[in-house]
Amino acid sequence: MRAGCRGSESREGLATRAVALVRGYAAADGATQGVIKADPENGASVAVARRAGFASVKQVLEADGALFTWYVHDLRSAPPPG
C-alpha cells in the first residue's frame, strides 16, 4: 500500500491537523502554552497558526535580523489528541 499527496489541494489541512495533534499531546504532557514562530511573509505558516487557534501576540527581531511573529495558544483548553 502506498500513501502520498499530490498537489496543494491534497495537502490542504495536513499542517493544521499536525499542529492540533502536537498541541493536544503537549497539553496532555502538562504544557500550558504553545508557541509558533512564523515569518510574517510566509502566508502559509501564518494561515496554519491561525487555523489551529493560535493568536498573534508579538513580533520579535532575532539577533540575525530575521523578523518573526509569535503565535500563542493556551493549552489548558486544548482538546485531547486524536
- Mean pLDDT over each residue of the chain, to the nearest integer: 84
Q: Does the pLDDT of residue 52 top 70, yes or no?
A: yes
Task: Check: CB of residue 47 under 8 Å from CB of residue 58.
Answer: no
- For residues 80 and 6, what is the distance between their CA atoms, to the nearest angstrom? 30
- For residues 39 and 23, what is the distance between their CA atoms, to the nearest angstrom? 20
- For residues 73 and 37, what is the distance between their CA atoms, to the nearest angstrom? 12
Q: Grid coordinates representing 58?
A: 508579538
Q: Does the pLDDT of residue 7 top 90, yes or no?
A: no
Whose CA is closest to 43, among 15, 7, 62?
Answer: 15
Q: Which pTM was predicted?
A: 0.76
Q: Does the pLDDT of residue 68 top 50, yes or no?
A: yes
